[in-house]
Amino acid sequence: MKFVFSDVRGSGIIEKAQAVGIKTIIRELREFKSRDEYEEFVRKLLHENSFDLLILAGYMKVLSPKTVRDFKGKIVNIHPSLLPAFPGTHAIEKAFKYGVKYTGVTVHFVDEGIDTGKIIEQVPIRIFPDDTLESLEMRIHRIEHMIYPRVVEAVLEGKITL
């Protein structure tokens, strides 16, 4: 079953999914009494809706170890750095401020750590002397939009497995 879950109302992916008739579910963390209650909702949602692959995109929360174990090998994430460098949030800004000459995009399987899962593909991006944080972010997002669909397709076709 195809469905899109978002924890952000009005996100672009929700509008795109609804436009092509894909089921959408929106629940924000603040709607729950606790982080644990929210996580249990997510686990239940995933268990009740069979799926081949859970694709994280712009999901800025860490899945619980229990959720990751339940769906091992069925969760992929995209991250805006050349992991293992700059894991976690604000990776583009961290790379830019640190002054590295290259950063990039990584697609990886999700494990119980933060951006520590098996790397599927990486694309390096040179940081030019005249780059601004904004220009770098734009270039990284263009690469993300190119690489993620291709990798997801390969995983779904069984060409890439954990």
Contact predicate 55/33, CB 8 Å:
no
pLDDT at 1: 60
Residue 79 annotated among the catalytic residues of the structure: yes
pLDDT at 17: 87
CA dihedral (142, 148, 153, 158) in degrees, to 10, reads 150
Q: Give the active site residue among 47, 79, 108, 145.
A: 79
Residues 30 and 92 in one domain: no
Distances (CA, A) of 16 to 24, 47, 109, 121: 10, 24, 25, 26
What tens-digit pLDDT sequence spans the chain (162 residues)? 688 898 888 888 888 888 999 999 999 999 999 999 999 999 999 999 888 999 998 888 889 999 999 999 999 999 999 999 999 999 999 999 999 999 999 999 999 999 999 999 999 999 999 999 999 999 999 999 999 999 999 999 999 987
The count of domains in the chain is: 2
Residues 15 and 42 in one domain: yes
Residues 86 and 138 in one domain: yes
Q: Strand 102-109 and strand 3-6: pairing? A: unpaired
Count CA atoms closer than 13 A to 135's CA, side-chain side: 7
pTM score, two decimals? Answer: 0.91
Of 55, 50, 151, the closest CA to residue 106 belongs to 151
Residues 43 and 71 in one domain: no
Domain membership of residue 25 (yes or no) is yes
Domain that holds residue 11: 1-51
Residues 35 and 108 in one domain: no
Residues 71 and 121 in one domain: yes
pLDDT at 61: 87
pLDDT at 158: 93
The Cα–Cα gap between 13 and 17 comes to 6
CATH at residue 67: 3.40.50.170
pLDDT at 99: 96
Domain membership of residue 57 (yes or no) is no
